[in-house]
Amino acid sequence: MTVDRLVCIVDDDLEVRDSMSLMLGLKGFDCRTYASGIAFLSAPPTRPCCLVLDLKMGEMDGLTLQEKINAKNLPVEIIFLTAFADVGVIRSAFLNSAVDFLEKPVVMDQMLNALDKGFSKLKAKEEGRSVDLLQETLTPREKEVFGVISQGLTHREIGDMLGISPRTVEVHKGRIMEKLGVKTLAELIKQSLRSEHS
């Protein structure tokens, strides 16, 4: 389902902007168009989006806009469009976390696949931010328990490690699960492992 999926199209070619907006709009995407990178930066969207970005533009090229977006930490995933590009340019785009690099004229199936990847990345980032915010609600002791849950230790072993009783470990674990909104030990371990590697 594409409802509420915002796609911003930045291209200095009016015809490309209009045709891309029309095609994606017919597929159910919410589309906004911008004639330049400067226009995008002066009025960026207020919610996460996928940005379909022309590489070669007059005022500011696509790679420069990508750098500025990354510097501002905007919730944007970028799909580049170009009629011509060399390996160095493509490499630079991907090193700066581009989702895909598509050639003009665009094949719609490739665009839809790239958008699916982009929105999946946005969703994963949003879920990660939500988990991080929830973890901030844990008490210092709960954070200690949460930090060792992924090690596969029993309540007694965790208690011995932290100098508390197994029953206290169990109580903390229950509170942690409630605060993080998880129902199973597997979900809790998954979040604990994610927290270790973030």
Looking at residue 198, its pLDDT comes to 57
> For 45-57, what is each residue's pLDDT tens digit?
999 999 999 999 9
Residue 179: inside a domain:
yes
Band of the pLDDT at 1, cuts 50, 70, 90?
A: very low
pLDDT greater than 90 at residue 79: yes
**Domain span at 72:** 6-130
Residue 187: inside a domain:
yes
Q: Within 10 Å of residue 13's Cβ, how many Cβ atoms?
A: 16
Mean pLDDT for the chain overall: 88
DSSP-derived 3-state class of residue 129 = helix
CATH of the domain at 193: 1.10.10.10
* pLDDT (average), residues 104-109: 91
Looking at residue 61, its pLDDT comes to 93
Strands (E), the chain: 6-10, 30-34, 49-54, 76-82, 100-103
Distance CA 104, CA 111 (A): 11
Last residue of a domain, one of 72, 98, 130: 130
Distance CA 100, CA 113 (A): 9
CATH of the domain at 56: 3.40.50.2300
DSSP-derived 3-state class of residue 195 = helix
Last residue of a domain, one of 85, 113, 130: 130
| Total count of domains within the chain | 2
DSSP letter for 137, please: T
Residue 1: inside a domain:
no
Looking at residue 2, its pLDDT comes to 52
Looking at residue 17, its pLDDT comes to 95
* pLDDT (average), residues 58-67: 92
Assess whether 109 and 11 both reside in one domain. Answer: yes
DSSP letter for 107, please: P
Assess whether 14 and 100 both reside in one domain. Answer: yes
Assess whether 102 and 141 both reside in one domain. Answer: no
Looking at residue 194, its pLDDT comes to 73
Last residue of a domain, one of 130, 151, 174: 130
Band of the pLDDT at 89, cuts 50, 70, 90?
A: confident
* pLDDT (average), residues 187-196: 77
Assess whether 84 and 146 both reside in one domain. Answer: no
Most confident of 24-28, 97-101, 149-153, 190-194: 24-28
Looking at residue 137, its pLDDT comes to 85
Looking at residue 32, its pLDDT comes to 97
How much of the chain exceeds pLDDT 90, in percent?
A: 56
Assess whether 52 and 88 both reside in one domain. Answer: yes
